[in-house]
């Protein structure tokens, strides 16, 4: 019998190939954040709001978002 070198982990690492890994843990700390296109994210504000919503849901949170021009305002709620 061959000994296994497999390791059980608690979660998968973030996808980084061809995608940007955002600091969700920081942005979902319950504080209100102003994120700016071109600095904090590089897609349309509407597309980023959708990403925020999905990322929050995956983490068992709810995200409130607003946008104004190139800025997206985000607050995670437990």
Reported confidence tier of residue 4, pLDDT bands at 50, 70, 90:
confident
- Look up the pTM and report it: 0.75
Q: Please say if the pLDDT value at position 40 is more than 80.
A: yes
Residue 17's pLDDT is what?
Answer: 58
Reported confidence tier of residue 29, pLDDT bands at 50, 70, 90:
very high
12-47 in b/e burial notation, b at 16+ Cβ within 10 A? eeeeeeeeeebebeebbeeeebebebeebbeeebee
């Amino acid at each position: 019998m061959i000994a296994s070198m497999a390791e059980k982990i608690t979660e998968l690492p973030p996808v980084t190939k061809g995608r940007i890994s955002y600091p969700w843990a920081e942005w979902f700390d319950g504080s209100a954040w102003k994120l700016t296109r071109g600095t904090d994210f590089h897609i349309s504000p509407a597309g980023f709001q959708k990403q925020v919503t999905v990322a929050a849901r995956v983490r068992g949170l709810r995200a409130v978002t607003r946008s104004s021009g190139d800025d997206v305002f985000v607050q995670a709620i437990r």
